Amino acid sequence: MAEHPGPAIRAARARARLTLRALADAIGVSVGTMSAIETAKVALTTDRLDVIAATLGVRSADLLDPPPERAEPAPGPVGEVMSWRRFDELHLDPALRAAIEVFTEFGYHGATMRMVATAADSSVAGIYHYHRSKQGLLATLTNLTIDDLEWRVAAADSAGDTPATRFALMVEALALFHASRRDLALITVTEMRSLEEPDRGRLADRRRAIQSRVDAAAMAAVADGTFATGDPRETARAVATMCMALPQWFHADGSAGAQEVARDYVRYSMAMMRFQSD
């Protein structure tokens, strides 16, 4: 490479709002070593560059050859440039918003359409006018959840230029989603058993497809020697399960935010995969 990637790493860290110590801890080096990397005072192996890139959520190639600075494209209703790390408010009708509130508090089986109508400040007849049943509300919410999760994981997968980076970015996407869309994710994780066919089968297939992406990256990283775990598929599934459990305890007003938790989960997952940094 023509230039040391240190300055590009420092710029990417600033964009990610990550402290020097946090990045050093995430990749397992001292603050002094991380500072020396950013100031181009020490050499950097390809493997270590890959894990730094994964932690910062960028491609290794972009740290070696940073793209020119440009303004963020303005979002539009068609062909919108979306960041899988950004969680804008979902545009839901009042009945769906009320269903999220009621299902989260009382569970699907404990909820009634009258509760949903009350929470939506509507009549029961008004709810039925737009949603055929309580089951229909659940199916709509779970499919909406998987729609949102699918494109984020696919985008994260596409952003990586090595199997290990792809894996790390997908773990970040999973963790960010389950923390940032906490209530929707909780309903989907806990109430999938309440879905009737064919919705339950379709949802299960789509969740398996997401898991298969994560599995494939883990197995490819083992094949190229980046991960040393003897059970990449089983470990990948343990990591995904760990991310899906986030709604059980994460709260936006807690001591750590969604991005911080997601970065921690990437670090945990790389340790579980026995990432080989040198």
Domain ranges of the chain: 6-64, 92-131, 141-272
Per-residue confidence (pLDDT) for residue 256, from 0 to 100: 87
Domain 141-272 is of which CATH architecture?
Orthogonal Bundle (1.10)
- Does residue 12 register a pLDDT over 90? no
- Report, as an integer, the average pLDDT of 163-177: 96
The Cα 250–Cα 247 span in angstroms is: 5
CATH topology of domain 92-131: Arc Repressor Mutant, subunit A (1.10.10)
Query: How would residue 123 be classed by pLDDT, with cut points 50, 70 and 90?
Result: very high
Residue pair 132/189 in contact (Cβ under 8 Å)? The answer is no
Per-residue confidence (pLDDT) for residue 67, from 0 to 100: 52
Question: Of 74 and 28, which is predicted with more confidence?
Answer: 28
Question: Of 236 and 75, which is predicted with more confidence?
Answer: 236
Query: How would residue 16 be classed by pLDDT, with cut points 50, 70 and 90?
Result: confident
Per-residue confidence (pLDDT) for residue 139, from 0 to 100: 95
226-253 confidence digits (pLDDT tens): 999 999 999 999 999 999 999 999 988 8
End-to-end CA distance of the chain: 18
Tell me the β-bridge partners of 227.
Answer: 275
Query: How would residue 76 be classed by pLDDT, with cut points 50, 70 and 90?
Result: very low
Mean pLDDT rounded to a whole number for the chain:
87
Tell me the β-bridge partners of 131.
Answer: none
Q: What does DSSP assign to residue 192?
A: G
205-225 confidence digits (pLDDT tens): 999 999 999 999 999 999 999
Per-residue confidence (pLDDT) for residue 262, from 0 to 100: 95
Distances (CA, A) of 249 to 19, 36, 186: 25, 37, 10
41-62 confidence digits (pLDDT tens): 777 788 788 888 888 877 888 7
Give 102's contacts (C-beta < 8 A, 6+ positions apart): 111, 115, 116, 119
Q: 192 — phi, psi (to 5°)?
A: -55, -35
Instruction: Indicate the pTM of the whole model.
Output: 0.71
Domain 6-64 is of which CATH architecture?
Orthogonal Bundle (1.10)
